[in-house]
Structures are given as structure tokens and as C-alpha cells.
Amino acid sequence: MEKNMERENIIKNLENELNNVKTKNDLANVKALFLGKSGVVTNLSLKMKEIPNEEKKEYGKYLNEIKILVTNKIEDKNNEIIRLELEAKLNSEKIDITLPARHSLKGSIHPMTRVVEELEDLFVSMGYDVVNGPEIDTDLNCFTKLNLPAGHPARDTQDTFYLDNDYLLRPHTSPAQVRTMEANKNKEPLRIVCPGKVYRRDDDATHSHQFMQFEGLVVGEDISLADLKGTLELFAKKLLGEKTKVRFRPSYFPFTEPSCEVDVTCFKCGGKGCSLCKQTGWIEVLGAGVVHPNVLRMSGYNPEKYTGFAFGPGIDRFAMFKYGITDIRQIYTNDIRFLEQFDRKDAE
Amino acid sequence: MKLSTKFLKDFVDVPVDYKTLADDMTRVGNEYDSAMPLIPATNLVVGEVLECSKHPDSDHLHVTLVDIGDEKLQIVCGAPNVKKGIKVIVAKPGAELPGITIKKSNIRGVESNGMLCALFELGIDKKYLHEEDINGICILDNDAKVGSDPIKYLNLDDYVIDFELTSNRGDLLSILGMAYEVGAIYGKEVSESKIETSFSETGENINDTFKLKVETKDCPLFLAKSVRNVVIKESPDFIKKRLIASGIRPINNVVDISNYVMLELGQPLHFYDADTLNNELCVRNAKDLEKLVTLDKVERELTPNDIVISSHGKAIGLAGVMGGLETEITNNTKNIMIESAIFDSVKIRMTSKRILRSEASNRFEKGLDSKRTYLAILRCCNLLQEYADAKIQTGMVTYDKTVKEDKVIPIEYDKINKVLGIDVPRGEVKKIFNSLKFTVLEEKDKLIVTVPSRRIDISIKEDLIEEVGRFYGLENIVGKLPTVPLKPGKFNRTYREIKHKMAGLGLNECLSYALIRESEFPYFQVDIKDQVKVLDPMTDEHAVLRYSLLSSLMNVYTYNKARGLNDIHIFEMGNGFYKENGNYKEEMRLACLISGSYKNQFETIKFNFYDIKGILEDFLDYLGYKDRYSLVVDKLPKELHPYQSANIILNGKEIGIIGKINPEFNKDDIYVFEVSVDKLLQNKCRGITVSEISKFPTISKDVAFILNNDIKAIDVTKEIKRLGGKLLKDIEIFDLYNLSHDKKSLAFKLTFNDPTRTLTDDEVMEIFNKIIIGIENKFKCLVRDK
């Protein structure tokens, strides 16, 4: 009974002392008071020698119990202090997370580059090679070998920037067809695309004297107009959306036979009819066709054995559609406020 | 080509309305610009003016009462030629006329219930009308029935489709050619019976007195017929109306007939006043600088590329393009020589481009069918006899070197299907050729197709395949992908990565015009290259191809600066152009420009040289050239600041320039670099091979030297590196402090490591001290706060 009273008193005293503890220093003092050299628990253990031998074992047990109790209480208090101190420290480090961040400088990729890369990726994934022909090319490669004989309207100097009698700024990316075929001579199949700058002598609200074209050429055995259609359907869907439909209309180009104009469902109204498509629901986007046998022959391919298809859209308007650009001149003006809007990835 | 559907119906039955016709023609490859009624007006009726009195409150207006059959309308009219008893065109209230809608109104206190119309008010261009038709209302003949449709009465109930034809379809520049195309669409027969070519001939044979010489290869066919005693007067109504619908102004019966035949058959004709010819015509190439006054009274200087018609040595007409003034038909002309000929299309094209593009030259340029050349001259004689009371002289002057054989093209069914990529049933193929009036002969798996001479555009198999495709319907082709062996596609990844790295470094990509001002070409060049100039620039602004892309970026800078945009960080990659030993060269180049400042939270940091240097180094390091390049001041262009700029050297060769823009060129603080990507990429880079990460600790030591200002950091660094040996792994300059105008303190952090063992402090100190003494001696300097 006595021991119980004594133990309760000690614990009660300890708890009283601990209640006043604020710092680790206070706790050290309390610890000394109970467990130190002349602490309460130490004094209690000095009494051991006064305890009769037969009771020593039990007294030892009692003593140990108190020691553990005291130690645990002090330890708990210690943990509490650490916790509070940490809390106080963190609290002191509180910041306003709504203040502006530190950014690195932001750059951007030009919309035309983006469209070119998107198309390149599509065609590379289908095994096409991307070729980059020269921007200055010969009359021979740009016209004659594409079955545009002398005197043909498309060769008019009013359309083309000539540099001298033989050289000119390419008015289309089609010389890439000639160059690729001549480099491969009867090796098949051939699949290339050629994105690049082209130059023509017109400049008005909807035309720029420099723009981007994206030539495509496939040569092999049994390459047909249906292959062309399927390929352009993929092209149009990729660039203009999955719902886009493609329509072929017969037309005439000297380098292809049969030739067609290719329309896509209007990218503004989706085919319902609007001012952009003049209520027809369709927009003409490119010329294409089956490579003319003369073109194949002049570049070293036997037209009896091989056929091919070619297409060559100007792609500035695709960029205009994709990014809602209303004036083609913005593409070449490089207003910083325009460029900076391209500082993020495209939506998938 | 404006197609009068009324004219068209002379030759073929059109089972659809004009809009459907226009769309169906488009489907087979003949696009149109517009399809409209000739008279785009509604609610018109023939009326008779019953009463006509002066308006009480006007000196030029009249108040009329007009009978329109089912009612009588009071209409106020301002035309001077309105009077009682005439038949007029009445636009009833609600009528839509070009530009206006007619409403009941009150004109100076008098009610007016419609309008009496002049022809131009109905939408006929004034250029087609006589003076009296422009100054007053249209007065109809007395046989016009009150209450009936005046448009029909006037023979103006026509619909016009304006086609934009492809340049190969010269055959469609005639109503007859159009009829064959339309007939093929709807499977209708084409009747040429309305093309009357009969006439009676009189007098001696023209060939007895008239001489024709053709002295050029550029004229394979030349026909001439003599027509005498023509009476020049107004054309019959149907000819006038058809010319108007086709966009040609009626003049008199003779001129109109030549135009009518050209429209009908596609063959341009030329009429000479026969009395000016002295019984001789010669076709030849013009002599160089030969002179000719054309009928527009302009003296033309000719070249040997022009084909002329001459008489007794003197040029009297530019073949296919324009007649001469001297031999022109006038109101006094009695005798006519008709020319119906074919001239070389390329030559005509060159001449007409220089002199005049006309309906006639356009047709010569596209090529003509020799059968039509014959048909046209006969048709012309028929019409002249009928409508100009002409006497046709016996015989025809003829020079003909044309090939008369029909084109016969064999085509395999299989080939058609292979090219189109669909199976067109054999019956369908034959049906299409039949509908085009091509003759076909089936031989096992192929057809032998005979193409009529009017289709000059068809000469090979592929042309026939196109015809099948056009009429079978390209919409019936189902898209598929080419069956080709799988292989990976290739593209230039490096070019692409360069752009993305530059964007990642904080620069906005620009795309500018390659054509620049001639004055801008030498900018940023030291040894100025030969420029490439276009022969005939559109504007001075775009005359020469750029070599340096910095000229473009400077323009972008100026543009943005003018709009108050000062913080600019941009780059462009593209070709630079120049000429070397007469050869055109293209070189892939990359330029970068920064100016202004950037904000880092609350701090605004102005760009300086070290920003542009950082971008350049990050870019070169990214491409794998770390530690292989250096900045050396060698030869700088005058556009760069002489003391804040350098040449960029890689493996001993200059690849570009970097620096600040010279204030004399632009006073703003602008920093730029430009490199030749082609030259750069000639230097091969090894792939990434990971080096072992040292398991042993590194030891760092800091030291600062007080150096003379003119000592370069790179030289000190190089020396430290030499002295440090292989245990010195890294040298970092972490502080610069300007002590006085000629002294600076440069602080280095040196990092030591041996991947095979732990270094002792003593051995590191030994190297460290060796470095310090070495630097102190070499650069005559002291360590700061030793």
C-alpha cells in the first residue's frame, strides 16, 4: 500500500514538473530532479541497502517500475518538445506561394515549322524519306523535265523569279521529284516528301511571293490514283481533323496525267457551307495526279513498268487554319506578340 | 469562256437547268466562275403606255398610265423618250433589278407603282448598247404582247456560265466543243446540222489571180476566200444577243460574223479589205525591228519570233494577234478577204504576251483543229451571204501542211484499272468513249481508240485514262494506301533538333523572306560574297537573296521596336545564298538576336554579351562540340562592336560571328550570333559514351587572383589546367570583382579527384600551391587574401 502511495506521489510530482516544462533545458532540469545523482528515483534506490534481503527482490522490481515510468514520461515530453519546435520552425518559414515564379526564358517554334514537322512525321512513319532540294534550281528541273515545254503558260517569267537564262528560284517543290528520280534511276519503290520554300511573282492579300510547299512523290509498280486518294485522305485527316473528307475533281497539270484538283471539306464550317467555302462546303487545297509518263521517262524511269503519284499543296493555309491565323502576312512578319503565342506544344 | 446555254442548245439537248449543268461540268473538270441568267432581274412585264403627261412638280418627269395586261399602273418616268402608245418593259413593285428593289413610292407628290426600264437597268453592260439605249428606256416593237415576258420577247432569256478552263482544253473555247463535252455528260447526241455552210459562188476562181506565199514553218495551214460587195449594217438580233451573252460587243454584221464563227467553232478569222491587198498575201516571220502600225493605231516594233502577214513585202498584220491599220475593214469596205489559218501556238503566245491578249490569240495559243479551220471559213461565207448580202468568189486559196491522220491509241483495260486503282467495267469504258464520240474497236483485252481531231489534248494512253476517270467519276475511286515494302523513313533530325534547342534556350523562331534589299546584302560580311539577284524584281524590297540571316533578324528587330516591343529574343534558320566562281551556292545558316531584358521574378536583367555567349555555347555544346570551339577576334564585320565581338572558331576554321551590334549600325544594345550550320556539321561528333563515376570523394579549393584587366580569363584558365594535371577535374570561375580601373579579382573553384583512390589533403595542397605559384609568376599577379 505504502509503495503504491509513494509511486503515485512520485508520478504526480513528475507530471506537475513536466507540465511547466517549455524547453529542452527545462526538461533536462526535471530529468536531473528525478533521475540525476540526487534525484528522487536515485534516492529511492539508495534505500535498497536498508531493505531486508528477502524483500530486496521485490523492492528491486518496484524500483525498476518507477524508473521505467519516469523515463517514459520524460521521453514523451522530449518528443513533444521536438515536435513543437519543428512546428514553430516550419511556421516561421511560411511564404506566399501566390507570388510570381522564377521562369527561364521562353522560346517558340514557328507555326510553319510545326506544320512541316507534323507532316514530315506522318510521312516518315509511312516510310517516306524527307528530301530538301535546293531553292535555286535549273529551268530544266523546274519545268522541262516536268513536262512543261517551252512556251507553256506556267513558265511565264511573270510567274517565276529568274536569276539568269538557266537558273531560277523554284516556283514549286516539284524539282525534288526530278532530282530524286534521277538519283535513283529505275530503283523502286520511291517514296519522298519535300517541304520547302517556293517563290512566285505574285503578292496580294492572299498570296505571298514566298510560301511553303510540301511535295510528295511515290513511284512503283501499280501505283494508282486510288493510292493517291488514300494517302491524301490520311494527310487531310491528320492536319485538318478526323472528320475531314477528300474530293477529287479532274483537272490539268502538265506533270500529271490524269490530274486532279483536291478539295477537302471546308475547315471553317465542316461542309455545311459558309463564306470561306463560298457556300460549297469544299475548299480546294492542292493539285495532284498520276505522274505523267514523260516525267518518268525524262528522269530515267520506264513508264511501261512504273507508275507514280505526286501532290504538292501550299501549306501556309493549313497553318492559318490550324492556328486561326487570319492574315497570311502574319506568317512572315515575325511580330513578337504573334511568335510568343507558340511557346507551347500543340494539342494532340 | 462564257457559255451561252441558248447558243449551246443549237447543238445538243441539255436535260438540266443551268446551275446543274455548271456543277456537272465542274465534276468532269471544267470549273466555272459564275452561272447566272443573262438578265438577273425579276417581275418584268411588257406594258403599253396608255397615257403620258407632264409631272406637275417637275420639268423632266412624266406621269404615265401603263397597261400591263391584268392591271393598269400609274408610273412616274424620267426618261426623255417616254410617250403615249409605246410598248415598254415594266418592273412591277417587288421586282429585283441589279442593285435595286422596285417599291411603290411617291415621287414629288405623285404615286408611282413601278418602273419603266432601260436595258442597262436590267443588267446589260452599257458597253454592249447603243447610245439611245443608254439615254432612254427600251422601246419594244409593236408586236410585243402586253402582259408577256419582255426578256423572252427580246431574245435575252439566256443563262451564262463563265468557265475557267484548264489550258489543255482549247477545244472547249467553242460552243460546238462545249456541246460535245455536255453531250458526253448526259449521253446526248451532238447535231452539227445548224452549222450551215452552203452558199453560192460566182466569178472567176480566186486562185487565177491571187497569190499566197507561206515562208515560215510557223503557219501549217492558211485558207483564204474572197467575198465581194458586202453590205455593212447592223447584225441580226440573234447574232447580237449571242455575242452579248458571250461577252463580245456587237459592232456591225461583218465584224460580228467573224466573232460569231469564232464562238461557234473556235476558229478565229481575220478579214482584210481585199482592195488593199493587190492580190497577194505572204506569211512569214517578221524581220528584226520591222515596223507595223496595228489597227489600234500603235506602231509596233517586231522581232523574228513574230509571225506577220505581208503583202508585196510590207507587213500588214500580226498573225493571230492583231490586224494592221492599213488593211482594216471600214464602213466603206466592199470586198473582203477572209483568212482562216493555224499559227504556231508558242510563237503566238510570245507575241500576244507582248502586244495584246485577245479572244483570238487565246485560241491560237491553245491550238486548233484543222477541220474546223476549213469548216469556219465556209460557215463564214454562208453567214456573210445571208446577212451581208455578199457575193462569194469561186475557189479557195489553200496552203495546208497539216497531218490529216486520226490519232489511234490502243489502250488495255487492265492499264486503265491499274492507273485509276478501281475496276471500271468494260462496258462502262466503251460507253464513255462512245459518249465522247471517240471510235472504239475492241480487241481481246484492249480497245483501239480513234480520237477525233477536235480533241487536240489527247495523244497518249494516259490521256484516255483521264477521260475514263473524268466520266466514270473520280468520286467513285475509293482511297487506299500504296502496297510497298516497309522501310523506315529518313529525315534530317539534326536540323530539327537545332530549332528545338534554340526554342528551348528561350528564343522565338522567325520565318522571313529570303529576298531582301540589295543594300542589305553586304551586312555582317567581311569578305563580301557575290550576291544573287533576281532578273526582274517585283520591288526593291525583295530584289536580292540574303546571305546573312542577321539582315533579316535586324529587320524583325526594327519592326517590333517600332511597335514598342523592346524585349526581343529570336532566331532563324534557313539558307543563305551567294555566287562563287559563277555557281549558285546555298548554305544552311542559323542566326540569333537578343535585345532588351528579361525578368526573373522581381529582378529585371538586361541582356549583355554573356547572354548571347551562353546561348551560343549551350547550342554548340548540345550538338556535341563542347571544348572544341573558341571565340577569337580576327576579322569582324563593321556592323559589330569591335571590342565586344568575336569570330567563332571550330577546329581551326571560322564558322560564324558573335557580338554586340556596332552603335554606328544601330544604337540599341543588341547582341547577335550567326553560324554556318553546314560548316559546323562538317565536324563530326562522337556519340555519348558514359564515363565511370568516381567512387572516391572530390576535394575543392577556392582561389582568387588579382590580375591586370587586360589578362583574359581563358588564358588564366588554360594555364591552371596545364598546371593542375590530370587530377584537376574542373575549373569554375565563380566571381569577378573589379578592384580598380586596371585591376580585377577573378575567383576560381578548382575540383580535384582521382577515380582510383581517395586523395589526401596534402597532395591536393601540393598541386594547389604549384598552381598558385605558377599563375603568380606567369601573370605577375598575387593571390587575393592569401
The answer to whether residue B196 is domain-embedded is: no
Q: How much is the pLDDT for B779?
A: 92
Residue B640 has pLDDT above 90, yes or no: yes
Q: Is the pLDDT of residue B16 over 90?
A: yes
From the list B478, B484, B556, which residue is nearest A127 (CB)?
B484
Residue where a domain stops, chosen among B384, B400, B416: B400
Residues of A within 8 A of B168 (CB-CB) are 252
Sequence-distant (≥ 6) Cβ neighbours of residue A262 within 8 angstroms: A232, A246, A247, A248, A249, A284, A285, A286, A287, A288, A311, A313
**pLDDT reported for residue A158:** 61
CB of A171 within 8 A of CB of A159? yes
The minimum CA-CA distance between B428 and chain A, rounded to whole Å, is 18
What is the separation, in whole angstroms, between the first and last Cα of chain A? 81
In a domain, B737, yes or no: yes
Chain B residues with CB under 8 Å of A234 CB are 481
Of A127, A224, A230, the CB nearest to B420: A224
Chain B, nearest residue to A250 by Cα: B29
Residue B191 lies in a domain: no
CA distance B423 to B178: 29
B248 and B386 in a common domain: yes
pLDDT at B427: 94
Tell me the three cell numbers of residue B494.
Answer: 539534326
Place of cell 535549273: A138
**Which residues from chain B sit within 8 angstroms of residue A120, using beta carbons?**
491
Say if B480 falls within a structural domain.
Answer: no
Burial class (CB within 10 angstroms; exposed 0-12, middle 13-18, buried 19+) of B600: middle
Q: Maximum Cα–Cα distance for chain B, whole Å? A: 131
C-alpha cell recorded at residue B329: 475593214
User: Cα torsion at B528, B534, B537, B543 (round to 10°)?
Assistant: -20
The ipTM estimated for the assembled molecules is 0.88
Q: What is the pLDDT at residue B682?
A: 95
Q: Are residues B531 and B644 in the same domain?
A: yes
Q: Nearest Cβ partner of B28 from A124, A250, A332?
A: A250
The average pLDDT across A293-301 equals 92
**Cα angle: B498, vertex B499, B504; to 5 degrees:** 95
B585 and B617 part of one domain: yes
**C-alpha to C-alpha distance for B625 and B683, rounded to whole angstroms:** 9
Q: How far is CA B620 from the centre of its chain?
A: 41
Structural domain ending residue among the three candidates B369, B400, B431: B400
Q: Point out the least confidently predicted range of A160-164, A205-209, B334-338.
A: A205-209
**If you average pLDDT over residues B750-754, what whole number do you get?**
94
**CATH number of the domain that residue B630 is part of:** 3.30.930.10
Look at residues B629, B651, B681 and tell me which one is the last residue of a structural domain. B681
Q: Which residues of A touch B167 (CB under 8 A)?
A: 152-153, 252
Residue pair B447/B413 in contact (Cβ under 8 Å)? The answer is: yes
B389: CATH = 3.50.40.10
Out of B460, B479, B488, closest to residue A226 by CB:
B479
pLDDT of residue A241: 87
| Residues of chain A with C-beta less than 8 angstroms from the C-beta of B542 | 209
Q: Which residues of B touch A112 (CB under 8 A)?
A: 511
Domain-located, residue B483? no
Residue B775 maps to which CATH number?
3.30.70.380
Q: Do B167 and A153 touch (CB under 8 A)?
A: yes
Residues B69, B147, single domain; the answer is yes
Query: What is the count of structural domains for chain B?
Result: 6
Q: HEC states along B684-697? A: CCCCCCCCCCCCCC
CATH code, domain carrying B102: 2.40.50.140
Is it the case that residue B786 has pLDDT exceeding 60? no
pLDDT band at A36 (very low <50, low <70, confident <90, very high): confident
Give yes or no: residues B148 and B169 share one domain: no
pLDDT in tens, B497-531: 999 999 999 999 999 999 999 999 999 999 999 99
- Predicted TM-score of the model (pTM): 0.85
CB-CB neighbors (< 8 A) of A292 in chain B: 462
Burial code of A211-234, b = ≥16 C-beta within 10 A, e = fewer?
Answer: bbbbbbbbbbeebbbbbbbbbbbb
Q: What tens digit of pLDDT does each residue of B233-290 get?
A: 999 999 999 999 999 999 999 999 999 999 999 999 999 999 998 899 999 999 999 9
Answer whether residue B382 is part of any domain: yes
pLDDT at position B546 over 80? yes
Full domain range(s) for residue B580: 493-681
Q: How many helices (H) and strands (E) does chain A have?
A: 12, 9
How many angstroms separate the CA of residue B517 from the nearest CA in chain A? 15
Note whether B377 and B229 are same-domain residues. Answer: yes
Nearest Cα of chain B lies from the Cα of A40 at a distance, in angstroms, of 51
Are B144 and B226 members of one domain?
no
Chain A interface test: which of B34, B477, B515 (most A C-beta within 10 Å): B477
Q: Which residue of B has its CA nearest to A201?
A: B538
Do B433 and B508 fall into the same domain? no
Q: Helical H runs in A101-174?
A: 111-125, 139-142
Residue B716's pLDDT is: 94
Rounded to the nearest angstrom, the minimum Cα separation between A334 and chain B is 6
Query: What pLDDT is recorded for position B700?
Result: 94
pLDDT of A47 = 82
Question: Is B364:B348 a contact under the CB 8 Å cutoff?
Answer: yes
Same domain for B384 and B260 = yes
Judge: A248–B475 Cβ closer than 8 Å, yes or no. yes
CB contact under 8 A, B535 and A210: no
Q: Are B612 and B671 in contact (CB under 8 A)?
A: yes
Same-domain check for residues B532 and B637: yes
Amino acid at B649: I
Cβ-Cβ contacts under 8 Å for B718 (sequence gap 6 or more): none
pLDDT band at A273 (very low <50, low <70, confident <90, very high): confident
Task: Please tell me the distance in Å from A332's CA to the nearest CA on chain B.
Answer: 5
Q: Which residues of A touch B346 (CB under 8 A)?
A: 150-151
How far A127 CA lies from chain B's nearest CA (Å)? Answer: 4
Q: Are strands B699-708 and B670-676 parallel, antiparallel or unpaired?
A: unpaired
Determine phi and psi for B155, rounding to 5 degrees.
65, 25
Decide if B303 is inside a domain: yes
pLDDT at B57: 85
To test the contact with chain B by mutation, choose from A119, A229, A331 the residue with the greatest count of B C-beta atoms within 10 A, namely A229
Q: Are both B290 and B323 inside the same structural domain?
A: yes
Position with higher pLDDT, B93 vs A48: B93
Tell me the mean pLDDT in the region B762-771.
93
Cα–Cα distance, A7 to B777 (Å, whole number): 80
User: What is the phi-psi region of residue A15: left when phi exceeds 0, alpha when psi lies from -120 to 50, beta otherwise?
Assistant: alpha
Instruction: Report the range of poorest mean pLDDT among A147-156, A205-214, B24-33.
Output: A147-156
Helix axis angle for A111-125 and A316-323, nearest 10°, is 110
For helices B253-265 and B359-366, what crossing angle results, to 10°? Answer: 30
Residue B238: name the closest of B373, B387, B36 by CA: B387
CA B686 to chain centre: 47
**Domain assignment present for B192:** no
- Residue A108 DSSP code: B
Most A CBs within 10 A among B169, B412, B417, B419, hence the mutation to make, goes to: B419
Whether the per-residue pLDDT at B400 is higher than 70: the answer is yes
Please give the pLDDT value at position B691. 86
**Interface size between A and B, measured as CB pairs under 8 A:** 245
- From chain B, the residues in CB contact with A218 under 8 A are 482, 484
Query: Minimal CA–CA distance to B406: which of B370, B442, B445, B354?
Result: B370
CATH code at B460?
3.30.56.10
A249–B31 C-beta distance less than 8 A = yes
Name the average pLDDT for chain B: 93
B649/chain A closest Cα distance in angstroms = 26
- Which residues sit opposite B323 in a β-bridge? B317
Taking an 8 Å cut-off on Cβ atoms, the answer to whether A226 and B166 are in contact is no
Q: Do residue B264 and residue B391 come from a single domain?
A: yes
**Closest approach of B491 to chain A, Cα-based (Å):** 5
Answer whether B482 sits within 8 Å of A227, measured CB to CB: yes
Distance from CA of A71 to the nearest CA of B (A): 42
Question: Which of A226, A249, A334 is closest, CB to CB, to B29?
Answer: A249
Nearest neighbour of A134 by CB, restricted to B499, B538, B586: B586
Of the candidates A152, A162, A248, the beta carbon closest to that of B477 is on: A248
Closest residue in A to B345 (Cα) is: A151
For residue B466, the chain A residues in CB contact (below 8 A) are 250, 257-259
Mean pLDDT of B417-442: 94
What pLDDT, in 10s, does the model give residues B315-372?
999 999 999 998 999 888 999 999 999 999 999 998 998 888 889 999 999 999 999 9
Chain A: residue whose CA lies nearest to B568: A336
